[in-house]
């Protein structure tokens, strides 16, 4: 089978039903894949763009937790495929198709949609997480999968061995056959020939469709399984099936300024989310959003260009080492090493530093913000100072152990 035919026979399933509780109040009213990132995108735009750029045009987004904003985003921004060419991006909400339970785990989410999977007449099923930020050509992984004759391939990324206890770690032989799997091991196995590096699962799986169907049925009937790919199915396959490790470095989209680094981020904590956004304010970010050969798509709305007002001695509209998105107004204030999402206003005499300001926010006059994340549509009252007094911040807002302060409109309302 040639690669183009294999792409057409591949169904991509993006698991986008998770709450992402470690992002705290950012996911009170939205699922983690719907969280805004990088100025104008949502997290789910990355796996969706990877699919389109890889030539994978049969895509289903599996949703569950507070999915309204995610559904709206996908419907408005990702409805350009041609159904008459058997291309689609569909939303598959949890429907209790196999019983009275909602999705009980990642494997169960796929199992509950087996009817639709079978109707797609696909020979391969690509399972993706909807909450990671990265650029990957899945067709390269598909090609390796077919050539190796594997039942399942697992995308893996190299991590320092001293950080391996945070991941599911694969033990591979010299031919990249997975011979053991350990979830967050205290004594992780290392890669052959490199004792300083372990191979971590990225939560990306490529299955032969018939193989997947038969094993999901067995897993669904198990009373001891947690119905999760990483915890249950992948360890079960080791030793009983042909399971291969696919190195992310072979299919990641390279940044010419960082040729030796494969960019992948799980933005599952406030600190990781903040750091991922802050990287984009650097002179040369590790994540290249300017690559016309691998565009990241999103829902586009008609907005005016960003605007900077005033040029007086103490009242200059300025943004330094920052990302300022469409619709923003920086009015007589200073924005430094920060990222302003769409339709943000920063009013006179304020100073915003090392902060992530989500869409629709309004920062009042004489405010100072340092290492702050401000949630969507929040209005910061005049004169508020955040990020300078840790004890006071913890009383009024959510302050992480890393010193990142999260502010929502509900928190502001409680102060008034």
Q: What are the binding residues for alpha-D-glucose 1-phosphate?
A: 103, 168, 183-184, 201
Structure tokens at 46: 């990355």
CA nearest to 180, candidates 220, 225, 125, 240: 240
Q: How many DSSP H helices and E strands does the chain contain?
A: 11, 31
362-363/88-93 β-pairing? unpaired
Instruction: Return the closest-CA partner of residue 35 out of 323, 315, 276.
Output: 276
φ, ψ for residue 357, nearest 5 deg: -110, 110
Q: Round to whole Å and give the CA distance between 65 and 57.
A: 25
Residues in the annotated binding site: 103, 168, 183-184, 201
Full DSSP string of 226-293:
---IIIIIHHHHTTTS-EEEEEGGGTB---TTSTT---EEE--SHHHHHHHHHHTTSSS-SS-S--TT
The answer for residues whose C-beta is within 8 angstroms of residue 273's C-beta and 6 or more apart is: 23, 26, 35, 37, 267, 356, 373
Residue 98, H or E segment: none
Using alpha carbons, select from 343, 348, 344, 357 the residue that is nearest to residue 386: 357
Dump the DSSP string for 356-414. EE-TT-EEPTT-EEESEEE-TT-EEPTT-EESS-HHHHHHHSEE-TTS-EEE-HHHHHH
Angle 34-40-44 from CA coordinates, rounded to 5°: 30
Running DSSP on this structure, what letter comes out for residue 349?
A: T
Q: Which two tokens stand for residue 145?
A: 């999968």
Q: How far is Cα 346 from Cα 333, in angstroms, rounded to an integer? A: 7
């Amino acid at each position: 089978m040639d690669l183009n035919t294999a792409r057409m026979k591949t169904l991509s399933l993006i698991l986008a039903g998770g709450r992402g509780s470690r992002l705290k109040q950012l996911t009170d009213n939205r699922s983690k894949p719907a969280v805004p990132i990088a100025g104008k995108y949502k997290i789910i735009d990355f796996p969706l763009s990877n699919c389109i750029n890889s030539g994978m045009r049969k895509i289903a987004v599996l949703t569950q937790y507070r999915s309204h904003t995610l559904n709206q985003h996908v419907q408005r921004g990702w409805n350009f495929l041609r159904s008459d060419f058997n291309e689609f991006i569909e939303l598959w909400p949890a429907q209790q198709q196999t019983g009275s339970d909602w999705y009980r785990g990642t494997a169960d989410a796929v199992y509950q949609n087996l009817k639709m999977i079978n109707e797609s007449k696909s020979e391969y099923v690509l399972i993706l997480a909807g909450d990671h930020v990265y650029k990957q050509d899945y067709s390269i992984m598909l090609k390796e999968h077919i050539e190796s004759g594997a039942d399942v391939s697992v995308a893996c990324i190299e991590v320092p061995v001293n950080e391996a206890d945070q991941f599911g770690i694969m033990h591979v032989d010299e031919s990249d056959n997975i011979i053991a799997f350990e979830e967050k091991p205290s004594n992780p196995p290392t890669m052959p020939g490199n004792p300083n590096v372990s191979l971590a699962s990225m939560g990306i799986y490529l299955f032969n469709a018939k193989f997947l169907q038969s094993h999901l049925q067995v897993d669904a009937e198990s009373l001891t399984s947690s119905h999760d790919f990483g915890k249950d199915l992948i360890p079960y396959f080791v030793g009983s099936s042909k399971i291969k490790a696919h190195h992310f470095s072979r299919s990641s989209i390279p940044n010419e300024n960082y040729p030796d680094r494969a960019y992948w981020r799980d933005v599952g904590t406030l600190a990781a989310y903040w750091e991922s956004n802050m990287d984009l304010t650097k002179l040369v970010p590790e994540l290249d959003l300017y690559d016309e050969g691998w565009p990241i798509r999103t829902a586009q709305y008609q907005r005016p260009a960003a605007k900077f007002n005033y040029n007086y001695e103490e009242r200059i509209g300025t943004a330094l080492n920052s990302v300022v998105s469409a619709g923003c107004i920086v009015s007589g204030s200073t924005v430094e090493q920060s990222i302003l999402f769409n339709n943000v206003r920063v009013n006179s005499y304020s100073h915003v530093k090392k902060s992530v300001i989500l869409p629709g926010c309004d920062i009042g006059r004489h405010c100072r913000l340092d290492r702050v994340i401000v949630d969507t549509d929040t209005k910061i009252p005049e004169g508020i100072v955040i990020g300078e007094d840790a004890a006071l911040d913890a009383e009024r807002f959510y302050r992480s152990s890393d010193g990142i302060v999260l502010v929502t409109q509900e928190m502001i309302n409680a102060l008034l």
